A and B are shown apart, each in its own frame.
Chain A
């Protein structure tokens, strides 16, 4: 089985998500409206062709330091339950055709990474962490429900 994974980078780490789930890739630097008191990973709301999308910093979600100010970055646009989300990443690479299955998540990962990564791929001598973007969005939308759900598992 071949998986089509869109690769992107976060603070140097190669990450990825299923390419077909990505609606669009947009350049960073869009005008964001910050939302006071929102979770740290929520960096604002923005207008995407008349629809309003929630902008999420994956760096912040994974508790990585913010990207340098001058870095423009890119955003992956995802639709989840009818709402739009813009996931800010450092840069977007190519769509990789990866054979076989992803390796399970190593337990040595930090807790915040472990809940966000669904599997690990080998790609060109580098490890690619496949992120569960829908899980991340779900967790931002309803932090309580998701944590209890994982606890009961």
Chain B
């Protein structure tokens, strides 16, 4: 296909897509002159191009459509609902022909007689005026060249080269000499900035996806005799174009569900005291490195009785348990795989058709879907999707001497197993479990999944990474957690896809390739059934947001970390001066008394001991410790959360080791309350 044709097709398709959004507006306000003008100009341009591109069929259709449009524009023929349908029909035909050309390079065969007759009838319904084309040709889309079309391949190439550049920089950094320090820093900064703008170049507004949706809703509404308005907000929210492509189908599905099953017919709505016109609200926003898209409707909500009945029929829920399910649990059933497989889909009078597919597709790209519904009031489906698939935060683990990456969004927590520690692997026959806060989480050893020699040396202190898979969680046992890194994801070679153990691969900072684990695939392969996620309330994720921390050693057990924001000073204090006052262990310090906290006894210890003075607001306390291990710039947020008030925020990973993160505010509060003295064991 020659370049001219290609350009014509791209341009026309883009304009047609852009029009879709406006066409629905046209129906509400049929005599929107500006809009009619735009449609007219588009059709006119297409027609003009047909002549020299040699497209007789398209030319014929556009010619007839143009004459009708020119009359609408001139106001000689009034625009009615029928007219709008006619315009839509013509544009659909044009779209079909353009699509056919794009596919085969030639006009697809087809008969346009009926449509042309309709158009001619419409045009003849009032006397026609001479075409006032000239005025419009001058005003034809004169968008100045502030943006530039660039092929996706070129962009991908640039991304690859960018990756190489980042790599080269990483390899250079350790070899910095005093002379090269300044240019290196500049290079470093420039490369980072360049990477940011490259990523930005891949971004597209979510609104690009939405243009087709009003039309879809309109068609459904007319088909089913409903009245539906679609509200959209946040269309400018940007997301990687690859992600955009992947959420297109799920989003369309959700919208169709809302229009089809959610919104009631006008008469029914009125009896329920709602306005006859239903509303579907589509909104998008950025939040915490993710894009959140809500599809909300004010329809009937989920029909829980019908869902429950279907679930029992399909054997998803034993009939005996059905009565005990909470409303939220019933709503979750629509996501269960196989929920919609039986009989005809339309017989289900609630929402949730094909939701398992929607969820699967969204989870494939590392997103999540949630649904909440209030019977009679409506339902909201919330999709959380990553901004980009190109660069993702990942946890790098080691097993059998090889490194593997696990996408951070699939990691629930990391548990370090230590001899004599709280967490131990339990066995039933050959199946391994971890008792995690009272829940038996099935475990799979990466070594076993990878078919490695099980006699190979086992790590004495393995780690368990608890992963999300579908609706549940399970744990993989690995030798060590090596690092938390941002990785540039590349698609897996087709020869490795059918293994279904890896979702992709990536180049690490050292230039080596690392395979990315696919949690669902691994669970499936190992034949284990992930257990349902515990209620989210009892597992709040540690919100450390990568803050710097001081690592220190005190008493027995793992190293501890205190966030620098809570650290005032490090002192060396004489432990013989410690006094016990009103149940508090205190020491004279500066102008007052400093309550002390220790992980081991300080009484009788006459030595001078190092003390970390920690603060929270205006209050201070001293932590007696043994030695400083080091400082980490960023304490990762992967953590095993402890009960609040235990004095520890949980375990985080620092320099490859699990460390206990000190809950400074809680410790200070307790030190001041005298809690330390009363129950030293529970605290430390």
Tell whether A and B belong to one assembly: yes
A interface with B by C-beta (< 8 Å): 31, 33-39, 42, 44-47, 49-54, 81, 83, 85, 137, 140-142
A-side contacts of B452, CB under 8 Å: 36
A-side contacts of B498, CB under 8 Å: 142
**Are B163 and A36 interface neighbours, CB within 8 A?**
no
Q: Does B631 contact A (CB under 8 A)?
A: no
B-side contacts of A141, CB under 8 Å: 493-495
**Are B161 and A52 interface neighbours, CB within 8 A?**
no
Q: How far is the CB of A112 from chain B (nearest CB, A)?
A: 17
**Are A142 and B160 interface neighbours, CB within 8 A?**
no
Closest to B402 in A: A34
B-side contacts of A34, CB under 8 Å: 402
Within 8 A of A (CB), among B407-462: 449-452
Binary A-proximity of B483-496 (CB < 8 A = 1, otherwise 0):
00000001001111
Best-buried of A37, A39, A42 by chain B (most CB within 10 Å): A37
**Are A51 and B160 interface neighbours, CB within 8 A?**
yes
Q: Is the interface of B mostly helix, strand, loop or mixed?
A: mixed
Q: Does B507 contact A (CB under 8 A)?
A: yes
Q: How far is the CB of A74 from chain B (nearest CB, A)?
A: 20
**Are A42 and B507 interface neighbours, CB within 8 A?**
no
Within 8 A of A (CB), among B468-522: 490, 493-496, 498-499, 501-502, 505, 507, 511-515
**Are B513 and A45 interface neighbours, CB within 8 A?**
yes
**Are A50 and B494 interface neighbours, CB within 8 A?**
no
Contact of B167 among A31, A50, A83, A140 (CB under 8 A): A50
A-side contacts of B512, CB under 8 Å: 31, 33, 47
B interface with A by C-beta (< 8 Å): 160-161, 163-164, 167, 402-403, 449-452, 490, 493-496, 498-499, 501-502, 505, 507, 511-515
A37 vs B496: C-alpha distance in the bound complex, in angstroms? 9
B-side contacts of A137, CB under 8 Å: 495
Q: How far is the CB of B503 from chain A (nearest CB, A)?
A: 13
A45-B494 in contact given A34-B402, A37-B451, A50-B160 (Cβ < 8 Å): no
A33 vs B403: C-alpha distance in the bound complex, in angstroms? 9
A49 vs B498: C-alpha distance in the bound complex, in angstroms? 25
A37 vs B511: C-alpha distance in the bound complex, in angstroms? 23
**Are B490 and A52 interface neighbours, CB within 8 A?**
yes
**Are A50 and B161 interface neighbours, CB within 8 A?**
yes
Q: How far is the CB of A17 from chain B (nearest CB, A)?
A: 18
A-side contacts of B161, CB under 8 Å: 50
B-side contacts of A31, CB under 8 Å: 511-512
B-side contacts of A36, CB under 8 Å: 402, 449-452, 501
Contact of A49 among B164, B402, B490 (CB under 8 A): B164
A37-B513 in contact given A45-B493, A50-B164 (Cβ < 8 Å): no
A45-B515 in contact given A52-B490, A54-B493 (Cβ < 8 Å): yes
B-side contacts of A42, CB under 8 Å: 495-496
A-side contacts of B507, CB under 8 Å: 47, 50, 52
A140-B450 in contact given A33-B513, A50-B164 (Cβ < 8 Å): no
Best-buried of B451, B495, B502 by chain A (most CB within 10 Å): B495
**Are B164 and A52 interface neighbours, CB within 8 A?**
no
**Are B450 and A81 interface neighbours, CB within 8 A?**
no
User: 22 A-B pairs, CB-CB below 8 angstroms?
Assistant: A33-B512, A35-B502, A35-B515, A36-B402, A36-B450, A37-B451, A37-B499, A45-B505, A45-B515, A46-B513, A47-B512, A47-B513, A49-B160, A50-B161, A50-B163, A50-B164, A54-B493, A54-B495, A81-B494, A83-B493, A83-B494, A141-B494
Closest to B159 in A: A50
**Are A142 and B496 interface neighbours, CB within 8 A?**
no
Best-buried of B450, B496, B514 by chain A (most CB within 10 Å): B496
Closest to A34 in B: B402
A37-B495 in contact given A45-B515, A51-B160 (Cβ < 8 Å): no
A53 vs B493: C-alpha distance in the bound complex, in angstroms? 8
**Are A33 and B167 interface neighbours, CB within 8 A?**
no
**Are A37 and B490 interface neighbours, CB within 8 A?**
no
A33 vs B496: C-alpha distance in the bound complex, in angstroms? 13
Closest to A83 in B: B493
B-side contacts of A85, CB under 8 Å: 493
A52-B493 in contact given A33-B402, A33-B515 (Cβ < 8 Å): yes
A54 vs B402: C-alpha distance in the bound complex, in angstroms? 17
A-side contacts of B494, CB under 8 Å: 81, 83, 141-142
A-side contacts of B490, CB under 8 Å: 51-52
A-side contacts of B495, CB under 8 Å: 38-39, 42, 54, 137, 140-141
**Are B515 and A37 interface neighbours, CB within 8 A?**
no
Given contacts A39-B495, A49-B160, 19 further A-B pairs with CB under 8 A are A33-B402, A33-B512, A33-B515, A36-B402, A36-B449, A37-B450, A38-B496, A45-B493, A47-B512, A50-B160, A50-B163, A50-B167, A51-B490, A52-B490, A52-B493, A52-B505, A52-B507, A81-B494, A142-B498
A140 vs B451: C-alpha distance in the bound complex, in angstroms? 20
**Are A54 and B514 interface neighbours, CB within 8 A?**
no
A-side contacts of B163, CB under 8 Å: 50
A47 vs B164: C-alpha distance in the bound complex, in angstroms? 10
